[in-house]
């Protein structure tokens, strides 16, 4: 079950400049940064609010690490802007299977690794009224015993 907006993914040509815009304009601070080589992005997650299900909603700022990546190709074609939306779910496998069963193309056979150790998959934008849609299950919180 999709329980929250996990994040909105925004493609930018310069991550540091865009992070600074979000800080100076809105007061949003960087919660986490990482490079995801598989996805071809350098990214910053700005935490906006907590959600009823114990999760959170973020803005995900994305700079391509290579021109032939999904974000690199999209930026070259469209310029900066909203690239995708992501819904949070406790069970990405179950939701991907259920949505795939409705005839929507799920891009990955198995979920891959997203921000902060999450598991992610994508739905084809052409099957979602023009919106690239990501499904995310956050990593479980670290166990303080281990």
Active site residues: 7, 43, 60, 84, 134
How far apart are alpha carbons 65 and 1 in whole angstroms?
32
* Residue 70, binding choice from Co ion, ligand CMX, none, Cβ under 5 to 8 Å by partner class: ligand CMX
How far apart are alpha carbons 129 and 10 in whole angstroms?
18
Q: Which is nearer to Co ion, 95 or 134 (CB)?
A: 134
Q: Which is nearer to ligand CMX, 17 or 78 (CB)?
A: 78
Please report, as ranges, the residues that interact with ligand CMX according to CB under 6 A. Answer: 9, 36, 39, 41, 60, 62, 70-71, 73-74, 77, 83-84, 107, 114-115, 120, 122, 125-126, 130, 132, 134
* Residue 89, binding choice from ligand CMX, Co ion, none, Cβ under 5 to 8 Å by partner class: none
* Residue 100, binding choice from ligand CMX, Co ion, none, Cβ under 5 to 8 Å by partner class: none
Q: Which residues contact 6 (CB under 8 A, 6 or more apart)?
A: 55, 56, 57, 58, 86, 87, 88, 134, 136, 138
Q: Which is nearer to ligand CMX, 59 or 71 (CB)?
A: 71
* Least gap, CB of 144 to ligand CMX (angstroms): 27
- Pair 30, 113: CB distance under 8 Å: no
Q: Which is nearer to Co ion, 101 or 130 (CB)?
A: 130
- Pair 99, 90: CB distance under 8 Å: no
How far apart are alpha carbons 79 and 89 in whole angstroms?
30
* Residue 44, binding choice from Co ion, ligand CMX, none, Cβ under 5 to 8 Å by partner class: none
Positive or negative torsion for Cα 13, 125, 85, 45: negative
């Amino acid at each position: 079950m999709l329980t929250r907006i996990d994040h909105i993914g925004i493609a930018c040509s310069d991550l540091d400049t865009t992070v600074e815009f979000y800080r100076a304009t809105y007061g949003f601070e960087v919660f986490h940064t990482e490079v995801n080589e598989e996805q071809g992005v350098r990214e910053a997650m700005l935490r906006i609010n907590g959600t009823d299900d114990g999760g959170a909603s973020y803005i995900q700022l994305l700079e391509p690490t290579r021109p032939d990546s999904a974000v690199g190709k999209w930026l070259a074609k469209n310029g900066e802007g909203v690239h995708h939306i992501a819904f949070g779910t406790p069970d990405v496998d179950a939701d991907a299977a259920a949505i795939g069963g409705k005839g929507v193309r799920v891009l990955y056979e198995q979920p891959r690794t997203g921000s902060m150790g999450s598991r992610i998959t994508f739905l084809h934008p052409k099957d979602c009224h023009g919106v690239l849609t990501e499904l995310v299950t956050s990593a479980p919180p670290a166990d303080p015993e281990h």
